[in-house]
Structure formats: C-alpha cells, structure tokens
Chain A
C-alpha cells in the first residue's frame, strides 16, 4: 500500500492521528477546565509565608506520599467533609518561570491525605515535633524525619521557637531544638490546608460506594479503640500518657474520670485551650462529624483503658449533653 511504503505519509498519518486524539482527550479538556472553573468565593488565598512553605513542600517531594484530593467515595470521607471539586484547584497557577503548576493532588497515599490537615491537626507543637522526627509522636510512622529544618541551640533566645523533642529522639545532643524560618513556612502552609465551605445553597456532591451498615439487632456499638487510634492517638499516644510538655495524658486525667461530662464532651467536640503548658486541641469531634455514638464509644474506651476505671456512658446520655453543648456560643 502506498500509505505504508511512503515514510512521509506513514509517519505523518501516525503523528496526525496521535496529535488529534491528544487535542481531544487532553488539551481541550484541560483548556476548558481552566477556563470554566473559578475558585470558591470564600476561598482564602495562601499567605506569603504559606506560599514559601508550599515551595518547601514541593522541593522535598511530599507529594510522593501525600495526596491532596478527597475523592467522591465513601472511604475518603475521613479526609474531608465533602469531596474535592474542580473549584478547589482553580486558583492554582504556574509557580514560577522554571516550575509548573503544583496542584499536588498526588497518586500515592503512603501517608495521610492532607487536603484538610489544617483543620484536622492545626497544632503547632504537634506538627513541629512530628516534622523533626515523626516517630516521636507516631511510633509506627515511616515518614522521613526533617531535622535539617531545625537547628540546635544551647541557649535559645526569647524569640526562638523551641520544639519539645523527647529525649530519645535528640540523638544524644545537648541543648534545645529550635525551629528555622523554613519549617515555620512549611507549618504555615500545612495550617492553611483547609477545605473551603461550599457557598450556601450549593448542592454538596455525594460520597459514592457507601459501605452497607449491618442492620441486625439495633445499632452495634462502635469500636472505641479504632476511633481513638484514628482521631486522638497521634497526640495522646497509644498508652494514653500524652507527650510531656506538648499533649496532656488521659491516663488518670481528672477530665476523663471526673463527673463533668459536659466539659468532657465539649472538649472532644470543640477542642480545648485552657492550659498554657500544653498545645491547643483542635475541635476534633466537629471536624470528624462525630455523632453521640462515636463520642460515647471514645469516652467509654478512654474511661476503661490504661488503668482508667470510670463510669460507662450511653449514646442517649451523650445526645442530651451534645444538645446542650451545641447551644453554647463558639468563639
């Protein structure tokens, strides 16, 4: 055949065929997406510090293990209150002359998704210790340590941000670990990663592939240990002892074992910042959309673990408290 025996025609045809498919399947969709999507009206722009922090995030290849996309499937609802939509990425443009746009959606989830990490874990103390050596707060973690983002000082000045690194992670060094500017930028970026609320009236896309709940003999009691592991353990630790100077122990805690269940539930739902010696607790329960069932399961787990021996609660009791707590003004 003439087509196959003439190299210009043969390779020309192959090129045109491939190029036209490319235009249809990649270039046109890309152009239409960047043209037809606008950022959400209430989306916050990155602060200058967070922009620098994002550059550090990119430089160190964090995207290799951390995604930034909440898929519209049920299993992803732990990573955000709604699936990510095109508008969430619409405001991301080319980084600079040398670097391409970084949407940082990622394709591997060796570590947790970070779309909403600023809501889930805003604690400065936790993040800095974790970046210095992740295993100081999550002993099973395989994330790399980033000690080069910190410096060692014998006598830190008043303006220095001192990081409370447990002794066994100091590697025998004497002195205090002080955060550098770079790690503070990175922290600012991580804290800025929050899902923007959809404007009122916008239909929220659904999470698909819901797991069927077994409906046998009423609602089964939730696994308090698993809930604790997923939501509380990174600060309060598996042994319930917290980290001295950063996160308070739950073992023997007066809040956990005391009678003021209203305060207890309030802390779980809305966070806590009453004690200067410890880091700020984020509103864990609100972020994760806890119902009375989850709260009750966690309370019962905390009250019956690590030698704690407190009164059991039922979801019904918690429901009443929740209704009261919800009415309280939030700052």
Chain B
C-alpha cells in the first residue's frame, strides 16, 4: 500500500518532469515551440518549478496521512494488550537490560532511554489543507509573454524555497510531537514493567532471549575445513563485501598479444567510441527536432544537413572502425600468425578518421553528393575511406597468406569477403558511367543495401563466428551451416537492393527480383541464427556469469527478428503501408543498432580486458546493456506502431498533415528512447576509459613476485 503510493507519486513526478513536452504537444497537436531562446524554455522552467511545489505538497500530505493512520491504529489496541505486545517484541539486548534491572531492582530512570527509541509513531491529524495550497496553480492559460513568465519564475523561486522550508519545519514539528508522545508512553511502560513480579517476567523473558540468541554456526553444510582450490575451478573470494550487481566471471588471461598490435586495436576502439558518442549526440538532437523543430535556426545544424552527418558518422566512424579494430585482432589470431603490417593498420585508421571528419564538415557546410542515403559524402572524401579499406584488405590477405593453419577459419571468410564487397559497392556507387536518370536510383538501391548487408552484416558475422565460440568456450555448432549462410547471403542479399524503390518507376521485374531475393534471405538468416543458438546449447548457464554473452544473445535475437522484418517489409502488400514512413527508420535502428552495435560491444568487452588487463566495473557495463536495450525498444516499437497507423491513414486518403499530427506522440517516444540509448553510450565510453586508462594500482601479488624475482 505505502509502496504503491510512493510509486504513484514517483511516476507522477517523472511524467511531469521528463515529459512536459508531451503535455504541451498534445494539447493542440502542433509541434512543440521549444527553442533555446523562446518563451517555451521559460515556460518549461516555470512548469518544473510549479510541479516541484506540487510534488513537495503531495509528499507532505502523504507523511501526514501516514501519521494519522498510525494514530488510529493506536486507539484500536488498548494499553494492556499493547504492553503485552511490547513484552514479546523486546530484543535480546533489551531483555538483558530489563532482567538486570529487575535483579538490581533500582535505577528505573535509566530505563527510559531505550524505550524512547523504540516507541511507535503517533500523531493527530494536521489539516490536509496545508498540503493542497500549491496544487491549484494552472500555468498554461494566460502565459504568453516572456516578460510575464520570467517575472512569475522569479516570484516562484522564493515561494518554492518557502515551501521547502515549510515542509522541513513541519517535519521537525511532527517528529518532536511524535517523540513527546513516545516518551510519555515509555514512562508508562516502565512503570508497568516495575509492577510485574520478577519470577513471572524472568521465565517469559529468558526463554525469549534464548530463542533470539540462537545462531547458526554457518558451518552446518560446509564443515570446518578451509576452502581449497586445487583444480583452478572455483573462485575463492577473499574480500567480503555486499554484491551490488551479480558477480560475473573475470576475463581469462590469454597468451600475450604483441603490445604494438594491442595499441593499434585500442586506438581503433577509442576512435570508434568517439564517433559513437558524436554520431548519436547528433542523432539525439535530430530526434528532439521532430518534437521541437524551432530548437535552433542555424544553417549548419538544420535537420536536412545533420541527418546524413548522424548516419555517416555512426556508419563509417563508429561501426566501421569498431569492426575493423576487432578484425585486426581476429584475422591474425585465427591464422595463428602475426599481423602482416601494423604500420599500414595505422594508415588505414588515419585515413578513415580523416574521411569522417572531412565528410562531416562538408555535409554541415551543405556540400553533399546528391542526396542518396549513405552516399552523401562526395567522392574525394569517400576515396580516403576506400584507400583505408584497400590497405586493410591487403594487410589481411597477406596475414592470411602466411597463416600456419591449413584451413582458413570461417570468421576470416566473412571478414575478408566483406572488405572486398565494400570496395566493390563503393566503386559501383561512385563511378559516374551508369548514374544518369534512373541509373542513379538503381545503383542507389543496390549500394545502400549492400552497404548494410555486405559490409556491416557480413563483417560482424565474421566477428561473431570467432568471439561467440570463444566466449562460450566451445566450438561453433556447425561449420557447414556457416558455409551455407556465407554463399546464400551473397546470392540473395546482392539482389535485394531495389526493394527500397518498390512501386517507383524502375522496371517492375527488377522490383520483383528484389522481393524474391528478400524472401531468399530467410535461408542465410535462419542458418546463421540456428548456428549461433545451437552453439549456446548446453552452455546457457554461462550467460548468468558473463557480461559479454548477454550482448551476444541480444544481437542474435535481433539478427533473426530484424532480418526477418526486412523480408516482411519487402512484400508489395506491406510496402504499401510502410514505405516512406518511419517504419524504415525503426527497422534500420533495430538492425544496425540491435545487431551490429550489440555484437561489436560484446566483442569489445570480450577483448579489451585481454589487451589491457583491466576490466570495466560490472555495474556500468550492466547500465550500458540495459539502457541500450530498453532505449532501443522505446525507440522502435512506438515508431513502428505509429507509422503503421500513418500508412493506413494515407491509404484511406486522409489529408497529409493528419499523419504529421498523428505521429507527434510516437516521435516523442522516439526521442525518449533515443535519450536512453545515448546515455548508454556515455556509460560505454566510461567503461572504455576504465578498461584502457593507465592507472597505477599496486597489485600486491604481482609486486611481491616482482620483489622475489629481483632478489
């Protein structure tokens, strides 16, 4: 009951502080007028202040109510019963005190003190009117001028302070009153105890004390022996503390990796993390602009220019660098040799970073390639990225050429093939020979989807084929399913590009091929999912003590659902409803975020501790995981729901603007989900810092051994 109340109050608080835009936006179905230099910002502050007054009042009312209830209960019990009740509720220490006193039969005054402390709260009702005087304030009606609002805000500040002071005062008075009541009661109780005959009370109290004092020895099950770990299987925790988060296993120390390679890989991750934070900050701001389109009026920050900045930064900056960094670890490792050239790895890193920096600046300045999605960077910028990829490909191929294993592990198939394909699609996308008229559209459909499926997806699958078995400490379920998925992915994925232009003026047969290809994708997706899930088989229990496996599991789930959703979207009947709506946006986040990002995070958390010997706090890894997952669901589900309604509305031939107003609440949810996702990235960045930053923490054992060796 009490808990419920508290929860209601909290939810109310949350609704009003976090989502005031919802209340504003829904009143007249127009987008929020929030802007950093407008009346709206002030209104918001005003609104928050009034809300905190209301919340304060509610809390006060709740407290008073609590005390009133306590008082009523007291009247129901008569004094005798109550004292008897006390008698059976004394703690062992108190019983000790009473019996000692009884024995001495003197010094009654000393007894008062403990009783004051354990007395129950009583208080008669204070007028609840006090609690309600702040609730009536309705702010939205007459406020339109900034000056008026600022004045009211200024006026409200002392009122707010007064309300806070008042509530503190009221609380103090209540406590004092309560203590006074309790003291009186304690005196009565002491007098009562004095009147009881010694034998009677001793028998009751003694047996109670024995019962209370009984303790398990804590050795009933384990016996008296000390724990010994002579097989290296169990973890003996020598430091005791409260586990705030579930204790997960530490990363296992692996054979040392060349420090030079380590450094290279870490710098790929550091850059990737930077671009993740940068790109999603932009994305978050774009999401806010759907709710508050007048937030700023600067050309460099306008929606149309920032949108490609967001997509390209997270594509080429975050995901690509993250994947490549992992590739630099996986390729030499499964080839059982060293990387061919660390220097060229650095060159690739510099080139790709340069491409994203220049590309971002170009886009914000209004220089773009002509508007095709993910093809917004002009060719000189994308060329830098391409050279980076060529260097990487050369490096990986040379590494594989000098491998010491006979076979090429499947992870390397996926990784190297994806780099080859990325180069092919970039070539096709940027060579001008076949780009006139509808040629541009056909190439665009091909390019944007191959970019997603042949570069990001294929590379990431390669990473999973290495890291998932490694983290589960068992081989991949079926090598041949991996081979099947590899070739069918190439066969079907290559065909599906033009499904982004179903019903457009590109040839009908080409659209049909794309739809057929989308259906064919069922084969590689199910093969891949089955393979990963079956690898988990018999090792599910490992999820609970690993912090990387949950990321893998989420990635696998979205790999299946996200990819299948792509197939479902491609049909002409569904395309009719969902095409051109935000469903596409939801889908691309479900896949690029749910699949690619989760897999890349999982793998980064798996290897960085091996490279640096340092782990991130498990609580912040947990925060990252949950916020990213919940945020993604908040982001995608409302968008999918809203855009389905929007598509149906278009089908009915309703006015276009009705669709815009319909989406308003779903866009707000998208912004909320996006904020959670963004916050999770801050945690990720912190975790990276914890894993990488050089800290001089003295390891007692290491140091002792060092001393021994020196001696």
Contact = CB atoms under 8 A, between A and B. Distances in A.
A171 to B, nearest CB: 8
Given A29-B510, A34-B439, A14 B504 contact: no
A95 interface: yes
Interface in A166-193: 171
A73 to B, nearest CB: 5
B221 to A, nearest CB: 54
Q: Which of A88, A108, A135, A171 has the most CB of B within 10 A?
A: A108
B367 interface: yes
A19 B424 contact: yes
A100 B372 contact: yes
A46 to B, nearest CB: 14
A145 B490 contact: no
A184 to B, nearest CB: 17
A147 B37 CA distance: 15
Interface in A187-206: none
Interface string B274-297: 000000000000000110011001
Q: Which of B436, B442, B446 has the most CB of A within 10 A?
A: B436
A62 B428 CA distance: 25
Nearest to B362: A98
Contacts of A105: 441, 501, 504
Contacts of B490: 14, 17-18, 21
B11 interface: no
A5 B400 CA distance: 11
A4 B397 CA distance: 14
A141 interface: yes
B646 to A, nearest CB: 9
B529 interface: no
A73 B504 CA distance: 9
Nearest to B501: A105
A92 B440 contact: yes
Given A26-B497, A27-B428, A140-B31, A75 B653 contact: yes
B653 A135 contact: no
Interface string A1-42: 000110100110011011101100111011101100100000
B491 A21 contact: yes
A7 B416 CA distance: 10
Contacts of B258: none
Contacts, number: 271
Interface stretch (A53-61, A263-271, A302-310): A53-61
Contacts of B501: 105, 107
Interface stretch (B94-102, B536-544, B657-665): B657-665
Contact of A103 (B369, B373, B437, B580): B437
A96 B156 CA distance: 59
Interface string A130-159: 000111001111111111100000000000
B251 to A, nearest CB: 31
Interface in A82-115: 83-86, 88-95, 98-110, 112
Contacts of B576: 73, 75, 209
Nearest to A69: B504
B307 A61 contact: yes
Given A26-B497, A58-B371, A148 B298 contact: yes
A229 B655 contact: yes
B505 A140 contact: no
A44 interface: no
A107 B434 contact: no
A64 B408 contact: no
A103 B438 contact: yes
Q: Which of B28, B375, B442, B582 has the most CB of A within 10 A?
A: B442
B375 to A, nearest CB: 7
B439 A142 contact: no
B217 to A, nearest CB: 63
A243 B223 CA distance: 89
A63 interface: yes
Contact of B408 (A4, A60, A94, A138): A4
B495 interface: yes
Interface in B614-669: 650-658, 660-661, 667
Contacts of A110: 582, 660
A233 B657 CA distance: 10
A180 to B, nearest CB: 12
B102 to A, nearest CB: 79
A103 B440 contact: yes
B293 A141 contact: yes
A264 to B, nearest CB: 22
Given A60-B305, A142-B290, A148-B297, A34 B436 contact: yes
Contacts of B585: 108
B378 A93 contact: no
A98 B383 CA distance: 12
B299 interface: yes
Given A64-B307, A211-B653, A4 B436 contact: no
A89 B366 contact: no
A220 interface: no
A306 to B, nearest CB: 17
A130 B397 CA distance: 56
Contacts of A148: 297-299
B656 A84 contact: no
Nearest to B335: A7
Given A61-B305, A107-B584, A144-B302, A33 B370 contact: no
Contact of B437 (A76, A83, A101): A101
A130 B308 CA distance: 24
Given A58-B370, A100-B440, A101-B435, A21 B380 contact: no
Contacts of B293: 134-135, 141-145
A72 interface: yes
B436 A93 contact: yes
Contact of B436 (A22, A64, A101, A139): A101
B117 interface: no
Interface in B382-441: 397, 400-401, 406-408, 413, 416-417, 420-421, 424-425, 428, 430, 432-441
Q: Which of B307, B416, B657 has the most CB of A within 10 A?
A: B657
Nearest to B413: A10
Contacts of A92: 436-437, 440
Interface string A207-221: 011010000000000
B366 A34 contact: no
A319 interface: no
Nearest to A105: B441
A322 interface: no
A117 interface: no
Contacts of B128: none
Contact of B294 (A34, A65, A145): A145
Contacts of B654: 226, 230
12 contacts: A22-B428, A30-B434, A34-B436, A58-B368, A59-B305, A60-B304, A61-B305, A92-B436, A93-B437, A98-B379, A99-B378, A109-B581
Q: State the 4 A-B residue pairs at the shortest beta-carbon distance, nearest first.
A: A61-B304, A59-B366, A109-B580, A71-B503
Given A7-B416, A18-B417, A141-B293, 7 more contacts: A15-B424, A18-B420, A31-B439, A64-B307, A112-B656, A140-B661, A209-B576
Interface of A: 4-5, 7, 10-11, 14-15, 17-19, 21-22, 25-27, 29-31, 33-34, 37, 58-65, 67, 69, 71-73, 75-76, 78, 83-86, 88-95, 98-110, 112, 133-135, 138-148, 171, 208-209, 211, 226, 229-230, 233
